[in-house]
Each structure stands twice: as C-alpha cells, then as structure tokens.
Structure 1
Amino acid sequence: MPIPYDIVIPAYNAHNELPVLLKQIDLLIHKPQKIYIIDDGSKKSYSFPEFPNLNVHIYRYERNRGKGMAIRKGLELFLNNNDTPFLLLMDADGQHPVQSIPDFLKKAQTQPFDLLIGNRVGRVGKMPLLRIFSNTVSSLIVSWITGERIVDSQCGFRLLRRRLIENIQLKEKGFQVETELIIKSAKQGYKIGFIPIPTIYNGQKSNIKHFSDTVRFIQIIIKEILSR
C-alpha cells in the first residue's frame, strides 16, 4: 500500500496556476491526506472551485514574507495537525510535474531516504541559461560543503520524512531555505536522494531576486564554512 503523505504549497500570485495544479493532484490515484497552501501575501486571496476529494487548507500571510517563511509555516502546520509520515513540497507555478509524485512515494517506501529532491539535470528544456548556470554552480558548491553529490540543489520539489522535519530547525526567510535544508540534513546524517523529473518551464516570471538571493546564498555558505 502506498505511503500516506501531505503536501505543502507556498504560493505567491499564482492565481492562474494553482487551480490547475490542484486539478492535476485531484486526478492522482493515491491522493495526499491534506494539502496546506501557504499564501505568501498574494495581491488578492485565492478563490478556486472546491475539490471534494482533496482536503485543502489555506494559511494566508497579509504581506509577502518570503518563500522560506512560507515553507517554515507549512512545516509547522504539518507537524502540529497530524502524524502523517511524509510531506511533499511543491511550488504553485506548475513547474513541478504531478505525475512524478508516485515516483517519490515509491522510492521513499522502498529505500530509507529522509529527503528526496527532484533532479532536473539533463532535462533542462526551455529553462533560461542564467537559471541553468545558477543551479549548476550552487549544486557544485553545496556538494563541496556537504561532502555529498548534490545534483540539483535548487529544485523545490521535495519529499521529507517526518523525523527530519522534527529535528531540523530552519532559519532562512527566502529561497535560501532550500539550500539550508540540504546542508543541515547532510550535516545531521540524514540520507538524501534524487528523483529524475522532467523540466517544465512555461515562461513565468521568477520570484527570485537574482542579486540579493545570490548574496544570501553566499552568506549561508560562509556561515557554514566558519562553523566548521
């Protein structure tokens, strides 16, 4: 029998994409027990048709707090509201293929991974060259820091085991939380794996602020080096 899981979706101005994503999730044979949508201060509240087969909960920040804050709130809600053993993180913009969810669940069920990350390497499709370069460089740096081969450090499509969430304290407020999660997981000895996924890029404007987020990424790396 497939493993039980919940989904956390941080969402910022994804009013067109989010209903499509939920519709795709509703078509899954093995559906999540709960879906937590963290509205990170979108310009207007989300309104979409009800999905009677999905248990959807929306938590709204009145102002934009950053993806890291949204993810941290989602993890908090997950821990405080059930005892489901696995949590899947997905972006709201439709770039994470719902059809890959069974692959995550199957691998987690058959192998003792604590953190499974989508791997888009070799499947870059129409992804802009700047994002390809950024992911390649950051993955090499995170691999060096952790001593493990991290092939896609920036992919937010991830399956987390409950014990990992219970024992790792995240502090980052922005996109850097994804790097922080990998580094802290590796540092504490949790087993990290990857799932090949197709790259979906449909031209949405990224919420990443390239210069400021690059600076913060460098700050994380420097803090990790100094803490050794």
Structure 2
Amino acid sequence: MDFLTRFVPGRVGIDPRPSQMSRIGLTFEIGYLTLFPIYLLSFCFLKPSYTFFCHFMRVEPFLLTFGKTEVQLKVDLSDIGVVIPAFNAEKTIGNIVKELLVYGFKKKSIIVVNDGSNDRTDEVVTKLGLSIVTHNKNMGKGAALKHGFCAARTRNLKNVFTLDADGQHKVSEIKDFLKLKGHYDLIIGLRNNVVNMPFLRRIVNRMTSLVISLLSKEYVPDVQCGFRYINLKIFNKVRLKTNNYQTESEIVIKAVRNRYRIGFVPISTVYSNEKSYINPFIDTIRFIKMAIGFLWR
C-alpha cells in the first residue's frame, strides 16, 4: 500500500502515481544563482518561503494519506475538447491525433489550429477526418490558442485540454488532469524531467515562472507548460490581448486575479530534436513588455 502522495505548494492537486511517491527531491540546479535577486523579492510579495525552497532548491513537501492511490475513473468526454496550436508539425501531429481518438475523444472535439504552416500539417490532419482551423499566415501561438478556444465554444464544449503539437506531451497522462478537474478551473502540467530540458529554456522557464508568481501573488512553478486543462468559463472574465508565447502567462495572471482556482499536475515530458520556434530575444522582450503592463493594473 502506498501511503505517500506528493503535492506542489500553492493551490495544487495531489499526484496519485505511486512511481513518483518515494521521490522527495532536493535538486540544486546550476545557473539559478543568477536569479537570486528575484527570489529575494519573492519574500516580500508571495506566500511564505515556499517560493525560495520549492522553486530555487526544488524541495517538494509531502502529505500522508492512506488507502489505494490509483483511482480508475470513467469520465464523460462529451463536453471536453482538445486544442492543439500547430506550426510545421507534419511529423508529429498525426500520431497525437490518433492517440487522442484512441483515448476516446470525438473527431469534432479535437481542434487543430494550423498557424500558417508551410508543410503538410493541413493535409495530415484532414486525412484523419478532422476539420481544421487554418491561419493563412503565422500569427503566433497565442492567436492560435484564442481561435481554438472560440472554435471549442462554437462546438458546445465546456472544457478543453491544450497540447503542444511537437509530441512533447503524453496523451496517456490526461487521466491525471481529469482526476482533479472538479476542483480547479485551470490545471497546468508541471514538468518533472527538467534535467533533459535545454539549459537556456530551463533558465528562462524558471525566470518567467518567478515573475508571473510575483505578478499574480500566487506560486506558479511552471508557467510555460503547454499541457493544460481549462474550464472555458474563465473566458467569461478573462480577455486575452497577446498573440504569441506570452499568452500562456497572460492566462495564468488573469485567471488568478479573477479568483479562478489553479492547480498543477506533475507530468513527464519528451524532448525531441524537433526545431523550436521560440525566439529567445523577441519572445523575451514580448514577455517583459506584458509583465510591465501588469505592474500598473
């Protein structure tokens, strides 16, 4: 009987996977010292010292529970969709869609937004019997997400998952989000294997997560993860203005400020050799511009 269940500080969910239970990690990652001034500021604005110990030192507290932790759920997926922003994803998008169909999602519930791809992304998706939302030119991940959310609403879906089109996320882990969907309005994947994440991306992710935590006054351990569960009702109050990679951060800040419930679920991540379309310089400038804008609101 497994009795250790792990959780992430803040408004978080239980991770019920026994394989993860025994790992109470304390991992110091080289490079985070450059962010030390930001961590010091966190003491002034965030909830207790979770920020320092759990973000900087990667300490993960635990709770004691009893009984079986694995729960087999039969969930009605009729009002749940999947939004996938895709740009030049012909090599990976087909397998993702097939896995979603096997999982139980209907074709009409899978919304692929082709963001101006110049490869066969459109063709691969339509051959699988899906209708696709297409941008004539590349408009950015945020714009693709927004159009995907609108399409989901027109199809009478109440909730959506978002997945990256590069195959980085495991469809099989959707069940871990579904176990918590009644408790949170927004559930974000928390990537475990950051050691395999490209070093620059790891540092940027830590930095942006800290900034968003400061702006929202709520601990957000992984703001950039694209694997999410979203109750579409949050967009009754949340109005998105950005169109690129910073949109995912904008969703978090505005959801917290509108008092929606946010949780996190540990996920595994597959890093391939597929090209990343993030521009470290331009997208960082866009993020800073967005963050500065929130300082005055």
Query: TM-score, normalised on structure 1?
Result: 0.91
Taking structure 1 as reference, are residues 98 and 159 closer, same or farther at Cα in structure 2, changes over 3 Å only? same
Aligned residue in 2 for 1:194: 264
SS at match of 1:6: strand
Aligned residue in 1 for 2:240: 170
Write out the 4+ residue segments of structure 1 that deviate beyond 4 Å after TM superposition: 49-52
* Residue identity in the other structure for 1:61: H
SS at match of 1:168: coil
Aligned residue in 2 for 1:42: 117
* Residue identity in the other structure for 2:275: K
* Residue identity in the other structure for 2:181: A
- Asked if the contact 1:67/1:175 (under 8 Å) is kept, the reply is yes
Pick from 95, 101, 117 the counterpart of residue 188 of structure 2: 117
- Asked if the contact 1:125/1:201 (under 8 Å) is kept, the reply is no
Pick from 65, 71, 75 the counterpart of residue 145 of structure 2: 71
What is the total number of aligned residue pairs between the two structures? Answer: 219
Pick from 137, 140, 145 the counterpart of residue 215 of structure 2: 145
Larger gyration radius, structure 1 or structure 2 = 2
Gaps in structure 2 of 5+ consecutive residues: 1-73
Taking structure 1 as reference, are residues 205 and 184 closer, same or farther at Cα in structure 2, changes over 3 Å only? same
Aligned residue in 1 for 2:286: 216
CA-CA distance at 1:51 after TM superposition: 4.3
Gaps in structure 1 of 5+ consecutive residues: none
- TM-superposition CA deviations, 1:55-88 (whole Å, max 9, x none): x320111111111111110011111221x22111
> Identity percentage over the alignment?
35
* Residue identity in the other structure for 2:184: F
- TM-superposition CA deviations, 1:64-121 (whole Å, max 9, x none): 1111111110011111221x22111111110011111111112103xx200000001x
Structure number with higher relative contact order (C-alpha < 8 Å, ≥ 6 residues apart): 1
Aligned residue in 1 for 2:230: 160
Taking structure 1 as reference, are residues 202 and 58 closer, same or farther at Cα in structure 2, changes over 3 Å only? same
For structure 1, which segment, 32-41 or 87-96, has the greater mean C-alpha deviation from structure 2 after superposition?
Answer: 32-41
Query: TM-score, normalised on structure 2?
Result: 0.70
Rounded Cα–Cα distance in structure 2 between residues aligned with 1:3 and 1:134: 37
